[in-house]
Every structure is written in C-alpha cells, then in structure tokens.
Amino acid sequence: MSEDFKRELVERRKNVIPVVGAGVSLYATQGEPLASWKGLLANGLRRCQDVAVDHNIDDAWVAERLKQLESPLVDDLLSVATLVSRLLRRKPEEYRRWLRETVGALVAKHTDVADLLHGAGVPIATTNYDGLLESITGRTAITWHEPARVFDVLNDPARAAKSIVHLHGYWDDSDSVVLGIDSYETLLGSKQAQTLQQLLVGSRTLLFIGFGAGLSDPNFETLLAWVSSSFEGVDHIHYQLVRSGDIDAARARHGSHVRVLSYGENFTDLPAFLKSIFDADNGAVVIPPTPAQKRTVPPPPNFEADDCYVTRFVGRENLLGALDDAMKGLTERAAGRAPSSYAANAQLFFLHGFGGMGKTWLVRRASIEAHKRGIAVAMIDWDDQVWRTPLTKPPVIPAEMFAAIAERLAQVRGIEALNVYWDAEAAVREAADEHSSLRFEFQNILVTLARYGDRWRESPEVTIASSSDKRYAKRVFLMEEQLKNANTTAEHVRGSQPRSRQMFALWAAEALACDSSDPRIAPSLFLGNALRRCVEASCVTQPLMFIFDTCELLSEELDGWLRYVMSPPLVAGAHLLLLIGSRIAPDVGLPLGSKDGWLPTVPTARIRLQRFDEGVLFTVGDVTQMLAKVQPPVSSDPVLAESLNRLSRGVPLVLRVLLDLHEQGSDVLQTLGHIDDADTDGDESEAVQKAIETISDRFLLHLQNRPELAGDFRDIIAIGLLLHPTPEVLARYWGIDDARPRSRYLARRHSILASGDLHETVRAFIRLNWRVAPPPDLPSVAQRLRSVLTEQVVPEPLPPNLRLELLNLQSWLDTAGFYADSYRAAITMLVQEEPVEELRALVDETRPATQQERDTKEKLTRFLNAAEWFDIGVDDLRAVESRVTARWSEYERASLDLLTALGLSEWDRHAEAIQRYERAMEFFKGNPPLRNRVARSYLLSAAFVGFSGEIAGAAARALDWGTRLEGDPDWRMIGMLAATVPRPEQAKAAFEKLISSGRADDVVWHQLGHIHAQSGHHGDAIRAFSHATRLDPNDEGNWVCRARFQLSIGKKRLALRSLERALQANPSSVKAMLSFAIHARDLPGREEQAAEALRKVKDYSGNDGSTLNDVAWQLYLIDEMADAESFALRAVEARPKDIHSEHTLATILLKRGKWTQAQPYITHIAQLNDIEPPPLGEEYFVPMMAESFKQQSQATLDVVGTLKVPLWRSLVLAVNEAYAGGSGVFADQPPTLREKAAVIFASLRS
C-alpha cells in the first residue's frame, strides 16, 4: 500500500505543496520545547500568570491547565490554547513580546529537510508560527492575511521558490496567529482566507511533513478536520509522511482524504525520502489550476467489449431465467401493466460468494441481455477502472461513491437528469466553512460540559467566549438540555462516534433552526438525498437496470450509503432492477435484529439471494456447453467433459484457465480426454493424484522443458513455494529493488498469475502435485529462498510470518525435519497466542515417504487439532517433551515448560507445575508470555504447594512475582497466597483492596477472618466470618469458623447456633457435625444430639483429605485416640506429603507412644520447615518436637540437628535444654538464638 501511495505521490509531485508541521521545527532545533504546541502553551500559561492578565490566575489554576495539556484529546489542548490566546491578547504588547521571545527566537541547528524542500522549487506552506524555514532558505514569510500574494505564489513558479505560506500565522504578525478557537473562527470567517484554503486543498496535493502520530498538534488536527468536512464531496487526496512505527496510528486517525506513507524508522531518514520524491533532475514545477469548465461526462463504456461473456457463458440457466423474468416484469411495470408472474416481481438480485465462482460472468451477461432488450443499464464494477469512472481507485468516502453513481446515471439519462445532484455538490462546497465551524464549536462545548458539568457558566472558557459572542452561552445551554433529554453525558457523546454524529445533528439543527439534513450539518446526507431523488426520477417512466459488482471493496459505511440511495426507490416500486455482486453476504456487518440492512428494508417478494459457492459449481452439462464454444473447436466426446469437470472440481476459474490455455495453443483439452475409466476405477487417492498431476502439468506445460522460459519457470516456482510471496521477499530473491515490474511481466506473460501471485486454485493444484513430483529446480529454489529469509539475524521469537515461511520451505527439503520442527514452532505459536491453522494446513499438504513419517504426521496433526482450541492434554505435552533435542532453543524449552505447567496446574498436579513454572520464569526473567493465564495458574499452584509445604519457598517466590505484576493484579489470588506463605499483613492488605473496590466475595471475608484470628483479634475474625455468612449463607464452612471463634471468647450458645446454621446449610457437613458434637456434649439437654452427631462423623467414608485431617485433629483434642489415628492415616493416604496431615498423624502417634511410626513424618516435616517463614507454624511444630524429645531425645536431636533456619536452631537448643539434659548450652550461642531459645524453653516448662 505504501509503495502504491508513494508512486501516486511521485506522479503528482509537480502539483505538491509541502505543509510543514511542528515535527520539522523540533528536528531543526534539536528538540527545543517551544517548537512544540505543548511546550509553547505551557510557557504561555506561565506568562499569563507572570504578567497578571487576570487576578483569578494563581498557581492552582496554572497547574490544572498544565495537567490538561497531558490529555490525549486535541480538544483539551485547543481549550488551553483559547485561554492563552484570549488572556494574553488583553495586553497586545505582552502578546507580541511573548511570540517574539518564544517562537520568534528559535534557532535552527539541522537544515537538511528545509534545504531539500527549498531545492524542489515548490511552494512551501506551514502551520508553524516560527521563522525557521525563512532563516534556512532565505524565503519570505506570507500569511493568510495576504491572499493575493499567496495566489501569486501558487501561479508563479518564480515566486513559489521565494516564499513560505503560513496557514495559521507568523510570529511577527501577531494578528495572523491562529491560536485557539477565537482566531480559528476568525480564519473561518474570512472569505479571502477560505478562498485561499479552498484553492490549496481543492487544486493542490498537500504533503504533510512533521505531523507524526506522537505529536499533539491541534493546528494539524483542525486543518485536517477542515479538509475532511469542507471537502467531503471532493475527490482529492493528500498525503502525510510519518515514521514506520507511527504509520498504523496515523492511518487510524485520518479520513479517506489523507493517505499515510512511511519515510523510514527515524526522522534522519526523511531527507533521503524527500529527495526520492522531489528529484532535482525532474524539477517539480507548479501547474496552475485549470479554470472551471462546463460539466460534462464521458460516454459510457462499450458493452460490445464484453462480448466474451456471451460467447463463453454457459450454465446458470435457473439464474438467467430468474433474471429474464425480472427484466420482463421491469418492462411490464414501466408499460403500466402488472407483472405476469411472481418471479417478475424481483427487483434486487444479491449475488455473493468467494472469488472465481462466476459472479462477474453472470452480471456482465445480464447487462448485455438487458442492453439488447432496450433496457438502460448503468453498471459499475468497483474493481475495474473502466467501469468505475470517474474514480481511479475504489471509493473510500461517500462523496466518491456518489460521484461514480451520478456519472453513470448521467451517461444513460443525460446530464440534466442529475441537476439536483450537481446543485447539491455546489451547496455542500458553499456550506463547508460553516459546517467546519459548527463541528469545532460542538466539540468545544462538549469539552466544557465534560469538565465543568452544570457549573459551566462559571468556567473561564464560557466567560471569555461570551464576552465576544452572545450566542455562545445559549448554545452551551442548548447542548446541556439536549444531553439531559437524551439521558446521556458529554463524556459518553465524546467517546461514541455514532452518538456524537447524532447529537451534533440535533444540536446544529436547533441552533441554526433548520432541518438536520442541511448541508451545513450533514454534507453526506445532503448529497445522498439528492442522488436518491435523481435515481427515483430516472425510473419514473423508463426502466433502468443498475449493476454494482465487486461490492466487497466497499466499506460497511459505504455499503450503508449505497443502501440508503438505492433501496427507497425499490421500496417505492420504481421501475428499477438492481444487481449486486459481492464476495460478502448482505448485511453481514450489521448487528442481529438490525432494521437497517438490505433484507429488512426491501420487501421479501422483491429480493433474490444467490450464493456462489460449492452449490453453483459447473456440471458436466455446463462443461459440455463451454467446450462447444471454444476456438479452435474440440471433440464432442462426453468423456472429455466428464474428465474436465472432475479434474477442475467444477470451479469456473479453473475451467477458465484451462480454456484460456487451449485458446493460446495448448493441447490441454486433448490430453485430458485420455484419462479414461481405467484411471478412476482404482484407489481414490491415486485418481485424485492423477487429476492433480494432469491439471498441474497443463497449467505449467508452456513453461516446462522450455529453455528460453527457464528463468520464468524458476520465478513461478519461487512464487508457488512461498506461502506469502510478498514484493519485499521476491525483490530480495531476485536481487532487485522493486519486485512489482517483474511480477507484472510474469502476470502478462503467463495467465496463471495475477497481482503478483498465482491464482488461488492454481496454487492449490500445483503445490499438491509438487509434493509428489517436484520440478528439478525446486530444491535449489527452496534453498535460495531459505537463504534470503535467514540472511538477517532475527532474535527469538521469530515473527509469525517468517517462522511459518521457513517451516514451509523446510517441508520441501526435509519432511522428517519439518515434522520435528513443527512441534517447536507450535509450542512457540501457542505461547505467543498465534493461530496454528496455517501450520496445520501445511502439515496436511505434506506427503510422508515412510511409515514412520506417516505415524509422525498423524500424531502431529492430532496435536495441532488440539492446539487450535488450546485443549492440549498433559500427556500430549509430555510426549512433546520426549521430542526435545539439542535443536530446541532455550526459548522453546522455556515455552514448553510454561505450557506443561499450565496443563499440570489444571489437573491439580501443582508440585510438578511449580517446578516447570520456576524454570520458565528464570528464562523469561519473570515476564512470561500468556501472562494473564500464567499469573492465575502459577499463583494457584503456588498456593496449593505452599499449603502442603512440598516445595520450599515456592509460594513466597510466586507471591513476590505476583505483587510485581503491572496493571491491576489478581488481589484475590495474591491474598490467598500471602495467607498461605504466611504473610498475614500482606494478605490482609490484598483482601482489603478487594473489599474497598466492592469485589470481595464470601471467600475473601472467610480468609480475612482467619488472618484476624491468627493475629489474636477474635472479635474482628467473628465479624469477618459473619460477613461471609451474609454473602453466602449456604456455605457451612463460614458458619463453622464463626462458631469456632465464638467459642474462643466464651460465646458457647452463640457458637452452637452458628453450628446449627451450618448443619441447616449442609446437613451432611462432617466438620459442622464434629464441631457440634464436641461443643454441645457439655450442655444440658444436648448430650444425645452431640453423641448422634459424633457417631455420624465416625461413619464418614469419604476421601477428602482436608475433612479427614480436621476430624482426626478434633478427635485427638477430645482424646478419641484410636479413631483419631484412623482418620489421620486416611488423611495422609488421601494427601501424600501434605505437611498438615503428616503433622496431625505424627502428633497422634507420639501421643500414643508410637515414636518409630511417627519418625518418618517428623523427619519430613522438619525438612519442609527448614525455611523462613515455615509452612507449619511454631505453635504446631514446637509441641510435636517436644513430645518427640520426651520419647526419643537423641534420635530427635539427630533429626533436627542439621536444620539451618535460626528459628529451628533455637528450637533445637530449647528442647535439648528441656528434655535432653543439655544444661548451659545456651551460653555459647548468638544473642538472638539465646533469646528465642529462652522463650521456647519457658513455654515448654510451663
């Protein structure tokens, strides 16, 4: 696209006027802030305060406006500019001094851009106020105050080379400086200035330089807004130059009048680009605009030139019959008679489907038949320059589309039939300045209302504006009332383009006391209405067929405007027959239930829809008819038609290529006739391959074994091998700067190419054939292409297109290696969230040579099918791990770790997941791909591992990573993880963030209750659990926890009521029954209930590890040791290596004197706790170890003696002192250890 635009620009260079923006001044001054709009306005705000232009201006006022300058909205900058301009102009001398000391004092340090523009000899315009261009080039400044001089510059090349036109003023003429809304409206109100800008925009090609996407320059924005709105009905294109990194953003903010080109990666690339446009040898000379001439239109294209659509056209009898009925009904209605059949009522035929299926053949044939019937035909093909005049390219704005329709209609009905439309065009041009002014005022009022709300009367903007325009406050009030009536806000309107258009129309219509379709308000609507009336008038007495082909080139907006113009005449019963051809089905861009589409608008009886897809493939009979019409004639043998239909799959484009080859002298049709029944009775794949081989060979027959065309054939092999033969890659392969001339030559010489690529169907056939029978030159071409693509070192991960293209080329050179590397590529594509469909299609296309390759392909295909939906099982990923070789890069290994970890976490294999997550995190330096998905999964697995204590420090490391994430972290998961580590204060802070933002559920309150309890704040814990019960009264866990801490403060009866509520919520809750049994047994009258509850608990047969562990611990506390041991053993079996279950079992075994059985669990727990902070708190660990010392002091000392963390070293000292007779061992230890040991020792003695 950029190359096409550049070519256009070069062609128009003699009519180009460079318009220089702030970016050039910034470059010339090496980034002087005063050269930018924001820098200048910031300085102006401070100057307003320094010179005391208003007593209300203080530091706070300045700070607020400086903050406003950081807004991305140009309207906000214009608001500040308006204030600066109005305030400083109160003291004209200060205003002039400010301009002189800021933009007037800038000094140029880089001159190359200005020198190149000056050397081009063209007029130069600028929106800048400074004199940098004058100081560099020696030219004279001219402002918009001097339109006569500007006109002379535009018409006199000698003067053009000596002047700089300042469109928005020059610092040395302060009255000319357009700074803010007031001066902009002055510019709009000047008829001379408007004439000047119309002359510039309407007769010249403007080249915007120095208005990058990253620069906020309201001068540029307002100029573009004026261009777009004022010349909405003018077919005129302008250009903007930006850096390559800014091209997408620049295109996104422009309308169709401005095309964006990249001059390079940096501003330093601009001079070379400008030199390529303004070549000094060519001498860009200004051509004065031609005077206006009387309106004429050229004659319509010659229908006889399309006679091939008659001689070649076959089949489609039903469609042709329906069209014939519709044309008959059209002539009957025009003659005042009722249609003779239901089919004759049809007035809209919508033909849609993918390319190559015969839509264009049908509409061209229909146009010829209508022409023969004497029906006037107005046909437009948006993809054919002959049939879309006066447009040189498909339309991009409504006015361009309207112009093409108007010209075609004028060609068949006469110039006068479009007088209403021509008048509308003139009215739109005449109203352009007022439309622009209204749009500008509308946006400024929205900014004021958004900022001040119902206090807008107090705003400085309104106060200052009202002093010079009494209407301003009334229009603000009008907008305020309309917003209230529409139940919306200024912010909403500013953020919604459709809503903004609607509100503008309402506001402007009331402000001007006119209809909303007035050209001052809605230029496109005004033109559309006029064109619609012309269409309706042209069908009053005489029938008309209007054809629009290749409508897929129209945007959704233009499709809507086409419908707006053409559907009302159909609804009104005009003598009109409308044919639309498109690859896109009607109304696909509209929301479901919309009433604006073709189908809801036009009565069903008048619409005929026809899909052009597999349902309209040619039949053998169609092929027979085609063969009867070709020249030279061929045999009428039915075997040939059957073979041709089968081999072509009935696709019209394939048949067309084959018939073209025949008419070019090929013997393709005779050769196809030799495929007899014997060729098709065998294995289906062999028959298919025979068809592929035959058609592919015929496609390439004129190239193969032709020494004089060997170069062409190699080039076509390269194009066919590449999945995406871009001009850039082909240019590097061919060793030339521009591949397009070579591509055009190949397309002219060989019919199998078009637009730089093979026809899609041709490509499919020959690639399938080459997989089995590659041309001799294919390997060397593939190697050369691979070298071209790898000549530049690109860091991992490779760009998607490059990765896929390299794999594609490898598939032609090494099938086994391709399968192996496809796994590597698939892993990278998954973590980069790239689609794998194209890779899967490439794998499908390959033909394995051995059984091992066939097996590998089958497995790879299954893997890619699962990968398409990110539904890959852990076993599949483990299988990929077995394929990892030395060829796998560190990036690919880390990506595989990441994907495997995600799968393991999903299957609750958290310890394995954490191991892979930590390896991947180390490689990705904490910033992995799939970050959102990884964050939740990683933190979840870390929480489970932290709770079980399986991997030392994993939870803490994950928590540290999670809290460093940019954006809005998952506070819920961070809080859960912090509670597990444990870091209670961090967990509490995370949960409180959720609570303050209104996102806390009962789980958050539940966890917060535990944190309060751990801190000894049982009252706060009860309140948190109570909040959880209110949010989810059916979760018995909330009630059980509330009961536990009610008991801790002596509220036994309240606790029992909580337990009863828990049992109501879940009568089978083992935890609730157990708590009730323990705490109700001492209350009079509750003994029997408690005993029954305890019996039910002991009957629990489930295998939930958490429940089993809780029951075991509670039974231990009430001295039910045998049952406690049984439940504890089941808990450990359900959750192997879980630190909490092992602690419960070890404690019970020690209580029962079973030290030998407890010893393995004690050892494991001690090892897991050898970190700070420990997963198992001191309040649990110390009593267990103390009991262990009592039973086996030396053995226990051996277990704990190797631990490293100070907490546990001090524990060793304390328990040794208490139970192993180690009197005085504290004396030689560090003070911190002695103090900790003394505390633990005291607790043990008590």
Question: Poorest-confidence range of 141-145, 306-310, 628-632, 1004-1008?
Answer: 306-310
Higher pLDDT, 455 or 673: 455
Kindly give the pairing relationship between strand 544-549 and strand 376-381. Answer: parallel
Closest by CA position to 1035, among listed 1010, 1007, 1065: 1065
Kindly give the pairing relationship between strand 238-243 and strand 544-549. Answer: unpaired
Please say if the pLDDT value at position 787 is more than 60.
Answer: yes
Integer-rounded Cα radius of gyration of the chain: 41
**What is the arrangement of strands in the sheet containing 376-381, beginning at the earlier edge strand?**
376-381, 544-549, 576-582, 348-353, 607-612
Averaged over 148-177, what is the pLDDT? 82
- What is residue 651's predicted lDDT score, i.e. its pLDDT? 66
- What is residue 408's predicted lDDT score, i.e. its pLDDT? 93
Higher pLDDT, 1081 or 682: 1081
As a whole number of angstroms, the distance between CA 565 and CA 554 comes to 15
- What is residue 1099's predicted lDDT score, i.e. its pLDDT? 87
Q: How confident is the model at residue 293 (pLDDT cuts 50, 70, 90)?
A: very low
As a whole number of angstroms, the distance between CA 362 and CA 652 comes to 12
Averaged over 13-36, what is the pLDDT? 87
Residues 258-275 pLDDT 10s? 788 888 888 888 888 888
Question: Poorest-confidence range of 152-161, 311-320, 467-476?
Answer: 311-320
Higher pLDDT, 708 or 325: 325
Please say if the pLDDT value at position 281 is more than 70.
Answer: no
Averaged over 377-398, what is the pLDDT? 86
> What does the DSSP 8-state code read for residue 170?
B
Residues 759-774 pLDDT 10s? 777 788 889 889 988 9
Closest by CA position to 254, among listed 227, 233, 219: 227
Cβ(345)–Cβ(606) below 8 Å: yes
Contacts of 1173 by beta carbon, 8 Å cutoff, 6+ apart: 981, 982, 983
Comma-separated ranges of CATH 1.25.40.10 domains in the chain: 1001-1099
As a whole number of angstroms, the distance between CA 1188 and CA 1155 comes to 7
As a whole number of angstroms, the distance between CA 360 and CA 569 comes to 24
- What is residue 1182's predicted lDDT score, i.e. its pLDDT? 66
As a whole number of angstroms, the longest Cα–Cα distance in the chain is: 124
- What is residue 818's predicted lDDT score, i.e. its pLDDT? 94
As a whole number of angstroms, the distance between CA 670 and CA 673 comes to 5
Residues 863-907 pLDDT 10s? 888 887 777 777 888 888 888 888 899 999 999 999 999 888 888
Averaged over 477-481, what is the pLDDT? 84
Please say if the pLDDT value at position 418 is more than 90.
Answer: yes
- Angle made by CA atoms 481, 487, 493, in degrees to the nearest 5: 85
Residues 195-252 pLDDT 10s? 566 556 655 778 899 886 544 455 555 556 555 544 444 445 788 888 888 887 777 6
Cβ(493)–Cβ(483) below 8 Å: yes
On average, the pLDDT of the chain sits at 80
As a whole number of angstroms, the distance between CA 482 and CA 470 comes to 20
- What is residue 101's predicted lDDT score, i.e. its pLDDT? 93
- What is residue 1237's predicted lDDT score, i.e. its pLDDT? 63
- Angle made by CA atoms 453, 455, 461, in degrees to the nearest 5: 90
- What is residue 286's predicted lDDT score, i.e. its pLDDT? 32
Please say if the pLDDT value at position 498 is more than 60.
Answer: yes
Higher pLDDT, 839 or 1163: 839
As a whole number of angstroms, the distance between CA 835 and CA 819 comes to 18
Please say if the pLDDT value at position 560 is more than 70.
Answer: yes
- What is residue 284's predicted lDDT score, i.e. its pLDDT? 36
- What is residue 1219's predicted lDDT score, i.e. its pLDDT? 54
Compute the half-sphere exposure of residue 11: CA atoms within 13 Å on the CB side of its CA. Answer: 8
Q: Three-class SS string for 1105-1129?
A: HHHHHHHHHHHHHCCCHHHHHHHHH
As a whole number of angstroms, the distance between CA 913 and CA 905 comes to 6
Question: Poorest-confidence range of 79-83, 100-104, 126-130?
Answer: 79-83
In whole angstroms, what separates CA 82 from the centre of its chain? 36
- What is residue 140's predicted lDDT score, i.e. its pLDDT? 92
Closest by CA position to 111, among listed 119, 122, 103: 119
Comma-separated ranges of CATH 3.40.50 domains in the chain: 325-429+524-577+596-616
- What is residue 470's predicted lDDT score, i.e. its pLDDT? 72
- Backbone φ and ψ for 612, nearest 5 degrees, come out as -110, 85
Amino acid found at 314: V
- What is residue 614's predicted lDDT score, i.e. its pLDDT? 45
Question: Poorest-confidence range of 90-94, 183-187, 736-740, 928-932?
Answer: 183-187
As a whole number of angstroms, the distance between CA 549 and CA 579 comes to 8
Averaged over 1222-1240, what is the pLDDT? 59
Q: To 10 degrees, the CA torsion angle through 621, 626, 629, 635? A: -70
Compute the half-sphere exposure of residue 757: CA atoms within 13 Å on the CB side of its CA. Answer: 13
Higher pLDDT, 709 or 67: 67
- What is residue 380's predicted lDDT score, i.e. its pLDDT? 93
- What is residue 687's predicted lDDT score, i.e. its pLDDT? 39
Please say if the pLDDT value at position 56 is more than 80.
Answer: no
- What is residue 230's predicted lDDT score, i.e. its pLDDT? 45
- What is residue 1069's predicted lDDT score, i.e. its pLDDT? 84
Residues 1105-1158 pLDDT 10s? 888 998 998 898 888 899 999 999 999 999 888 888 998 998 899 888 888 898
Q: CB pairs under 8 A, 24+ apart, for 492-495?
A: 493/446, 494/73, 494/75, 494/443, 494/446, 494/447, 494/450
As a whole number of angstroms, the distance between CA 540 and CA 74 comes to 49
Total residues found in the chain within this entry? 1246
Closest by CA position to 566, among listed 552, 585, 551, 583: 551
Kindly give the pairing relationship between strand 544-549 and strand 753-754. Answer: unpaired
Contacts of 968 by beta carbon, 8 Å cutoff, 6+ apart: none
Closest by CA position to 235, among listed 259, 266, 202, 213: 202
Please say if the pLDDT value at position 411 is more than 70.
Answer: yes
Statement: the pTM of the whole predicted model exceeds 0.85: no
Q: To 10 degrees, the CA torsion angle through 1077, 1078, 1083, 1084? A: 50
- What is residue 443's predicted lDDT score, i.e. its pLDDT? 75
In the CATH scheme, what is the code of domain 325-429+524-577+596-616? 3.40.50
Cβ(1099)–Cβ(1070) below 8 Å: no
Averaged over 442-461, what is the pLDDT? 79
- What is residue 1031's predicted lDDT score, i.e. its pLDDT? 92
Full DSSP string of 1197-1214: HHHHTT--SHHHHHHHHH
Contacts of 847 by beta carbon, 8 Å cutoff, 6+ apart: 771, 772, 815
- Judged by DSSP in three states, 543 sits in coil
Q: What percent of the chain has pLDDT over 90?
A: 21
CATH label, 893-998, candidates 3.30.450, 1.10.8, 1.20.120, 1.25.40: 1.25.40
- What is residue 232's predicted lDDT score, i.e. its pLDDT? 44
- What is residue 547's predicted lDDT score, i.e. its pLDDT? 94
Unique residue bearing structure tokens 């190419």? 753
Residue 220, strand partner residues? none
Please say if the pLDDT value at position 803 is more than 50.
Answer: yes
Q: How confident is the model at residue 309 (pLDDT cuts 50, 70, 90)?
A: low
- What is residue 678's predicted lDDT score, i.e. its pLDDT? 35
- What is residue 1114's predicted lDDT score, i.e. its pLDDT? 86
Cβ(1049)–Cβ(1076) below 8 Å: no
As a whole number of angstroms, the distance between CA 621 and CA 618 comes to 8
Kindly give the pairing relationship between strand 753-754 and strand 757-758. Answer: antiparallel
**CATH architecture assignment, domain 1001-1099:** Alpha Horseshoe (1.25)
Closest by CA position to 8, among listed 280, 237, 272, 289: 237
Higher pLDDT, 597 or 290: 597
Spell 757-774 as b/e; 16+ CB within 10 A means b.
bbbebbbbbbbbbbbeee
Cβ(729)–Cβ(816) below 8 Å: no
As a whole number of angstroms, the distance between CA 956 and CA 946 comes to 8
Q: How confident is the model at residue 129 (pLDDT cuts 50, 70, 90)?
A: very high
Closest by CA position to 362, among listed 622, 573, 183: 622
Residues 534-552 pLDDT 10s? 999 999 888 999 999 988 7
Cβ(246)–Cβ(256) below 8 Å: no
> What does the DSSP 8-state code read for residue 359?
H
Measure CA of the first residue to CA of the last residue in the chain; give whole Å.
85
Please say if the pLDDT value at position 15 is more than 80.
Answer: no
- What is residue 1020's predicted lDDT score, i.e. its pLDDT? 92
- Angle made by CA atoms 1133, 1135, 1139, in degrees to the nearest 5: 110
